[in-house]
Chains A and B, each alone.
Chain A
Amino acid sequence: GDSVTQMEGPVTLSEEAFLTINCTYTATGYPSLFWYVQYPGEGLQLLLKATKADDKGSNKGFEATYRKETTSFHLEKGSVQVSDSAVYFCALRGSSNTGKLIFGQGTTLQVKP
């Protein structure tokens, strides 16, 4: 079945450092890919998405490119801030479009000033 694998955390960075969180997936057909963020004590917010190969999703300085050849959707940010400290989830929705999401295990990011 479909699955998502994220790099294990926690990830600890200094402010203004470059961030990469790896995400790879297994799916049949043409899934849509997502990054969700969960700030401490809050629910999930959609950070960015991509619906087809080579699409680049971007938001708040974060980017991720849908790479079908490597089945990857790595999250990047050029310069992180303390306010980016959160848990980041990679997720996919299969091409059957029933609204179901498959999530990775989540990666905790801590940014230190």
Chain B
Amino acid sequence: NAGVTQTPKFQVLKTGQSMTLQCAQDMNHEYMSWYRQDPGMGLRLIHYSVGAGITDQGEVPNGYNVSRSTTEDFPLRLLSAAPSQTSVYFCASSSPSEGVTQYFGPGTRLLVL
């Protein structure tokens, strides 16, 4: 199993550009989440999904869009990038049938100029 994979690893955007951060998992996990990590603030939840076709907002959803058309994929879309979205983004997955552990991807480092 590859686990949770994220692409790209690093991206530079200009203000106003759009992009999609990709996340995929091959563990057949129902739950998937996106977090952003900023210095001194830990990780904050952006959006999450409890299954295909079901998504909900987390703590910091503004400026981000998600959809979940398959169990495996959970892309995060930045519609119009802003410097405040410069961060490291982590995707995670878990399954209630496997207990409480979440598995994290390696992260995407995003710089918005």
List residues of chain A with CB under 8 Å of any chain B CB.
4, 6, 32, 34, 36, 42-46, 49, 51, 89, 91, 93, 97-106
Contact = CB atoms under 8 A, between A and B. Distances in A.
Nearest to B105: A43
Contacts of B90: 43-44
B40 A101 contact: no
B101 to A, nearest CB: 6
Interface residues of B, number: 28
Nearest to A46: B101
7 contacts: A6-B42, A34-B100, A89-B43, A99-B50, A99-B93, A101-B33, A103-B35
Contacts of B101: 46, 49
B49 to A, nearest CB: 8
User: Considering residues B44, B101, B102, which has the most beta carbons from chain A within 10 angstroms of its beta carbon?
Assistant: B102
Contact of B106 (A42, A89, A93): A42
Contacts of A104: 42
Interface of B: 30-33, 35, 40-45, 48, 50, 58, 90, 92-94, 96, 99-107
A93 B104 contact: no
Contact of A100 (B30, B40, B48): B48
A81 to B, nearest CB: 23
A58 to B, nearest CB: 15
Contacts of A98: 31, 48, 50
A101 B104 CA distance: 12
A19 to B, nearest CB: 19
Contacts of A32: 100
Contacts of A43: 90, 104-107
Contacts of B40: 105-106
Contacts of B99: 51
Nearest 5 CB-CB pairings of A with B: A99-B31, A103-B42, A32-B100, A105-B42, A44-B104
Nearest to A50: B100
A29 to B, nearest CB: 13
